[in-house]
Amino acid sequence: MSQPAGAARKGSIAGNIFKGSVGNLIEWYDWYVYAAFSVYFSSQFFPTGDPTSQLLNTAAIFAVGFLMRPIGSLLLGRYADRHGRRAALTLSISVMAAGSLIIACTPSYSSIGIMAPIILVLARLLQGLSLGGEYGTSATYLSEMASRGRRGFYSSFQYVTLIGGQLVALGVQIVLQQLLNEAEMHAWGWRIPFIIGALGALAVLWLRRSMDESEQFSKMGSESKAKAGTIRALMKHPKAVLTVVGLTLGGTVAFYTYTTYLQKFMVNSVGLPKEVVSWINFIALLVFVVLQPLAGMLSDRIGRRPLLLCFGILGTLLTAPLFFIMENMKNPIGAFLLMLAGLIIVTGYTSINAIVKAELFPTEVRALGVGFPYGLTVAIFGGTAEFIALWFKSIGMEPLFYFYVAACIAVSFFVYWRMDESSKSSHIEAELDRKYSVS
């Protein structure tokens, strides 16, 4: 029998993981810059109303961007399963660069009227299309490029770079807050991070062109590639598709609640200063990044399912209490610890969700299978989390959102409880075993 899968590629694994991951970081930076800086540019596109209603409008556009993610995952997932992971990842970063550049250059409402928010929506749709394709293809690429016995560790870098993108966005925000005053930030300073994102995406475009294709895709025959990545092929795996939907539902709502929305909650509901909140988010997310590969390594030892179960139990029981305590937390250190507690809980999902989904599908439909049901679920639940939270606040019933998040996690817990251990029935390992046993 030949040497184990991946042994011959060991020297190139880290380089390819880096090239795939850094592009993922830039994609998510571009995506999160919108959320991080919406407190500054919301008045530029929606000049009338109180701060909550302005944020509600920008949150609605944030949610609209999510509607394109299933379409992006469908189109680019199909493209990745037929033409390769590398080609799809290169295409996705190009689309994201265009979206960021459009936002950076869009005039304000006072200059072009209603066309300003319309262009903002169109640019956000482009970014949603790109990100939808990026997630499934990136998760597939990192999982396939990883070595046997370390797939949990290597695939966790998808969320390391995903969160890293948010950290860079917050870092840019903190730097700009030190260099510019409040008026300058609202007037033109918010455009700078979008320009940075567009330039970064162009740099990654060049880098991704030198990535190796994954072994699993490269060994597919031309006939298999011609039939790959179709909805018909995906529907041959209904249990896996429903599992992706179920395990994503609670995770995506919790993730966007504790990252994207919590920053606005601390400013808009708790009343903490924007600059203080930026530092709280930055440090908490920095710890969150470190936790991802640690939890990924743990999953390689004890399995994926125990981590998912821990997230399901703790998230269901503790989400509402954490938010009730946060409501009256004026101490920045206390707010930081509460946010960190939520992020530690969510790590049980974020660190391993990419590899769990990749292990459920065969090579010919893996990128589509990972991305499309995920993108659909995120569009319905993750993308609307912030909007639902702000809507509950606008009608004076904000605490209902806390229980909504807990209920979504409870639904996913039921799925975790019923599902098999994906690392024991992994399609990735089974396919490689068959190929190497034949050779």
pLDDT tier, 159 (very low <50, low <70, confident <90, very high otherwise): confident
Region 354-365: what's the mean pLDDT? 90
Using one digit for the tens of pLDDT, what is the confidence trace for 300-354? 999 999 999 999 999 999 999 999 999 989 899 999 999 999 999 999 999 999 8
Which tens digits make up the pLDDT trace of 187-233?
888 899 999 998 988 888 888 877 888 878 877 777 677 777 788 88
Q: Where are the alpha helices (DSSP H) in 259-352?
A: 262-265, 274-302, 305-327, 332-350
Q: How far separated are the first and last CA of the chain, in Å rounded?
A: 7
Q: Tell me how crowded residue 366 is: count the other CB atoms within 10 A of its CB.
A: 33
Instruction: Report CA torsion sign: 374, 377, 379, 385.
Output: negative
Token digits for 167? Answer: 């950290």
- Which one, of 417, 308, 286, lies nearest residue 355 by Cα? 308
Q: Where do runs of H (alpha helix) occur along 191-237? A: 191-208, 215-218, 222-227, 231-234
User: Closest by alpha carbon to 353, among 252, 236, 237?
Assistant: 252
Domains identified in the chain and CATH numbers: 10-210+237-438 (1.20.1250.20)
Model confidence, pTM: 0.81
Contact yes or no for 349/379 (Cβ under 8 A):
no
DSSP classification of residue 236: T
The C-alpha atoms of residue 33 and residue 50 are separated, in whole angstroms, by 22
* Predicted local confidence at residue 433, as pLDDT: 60
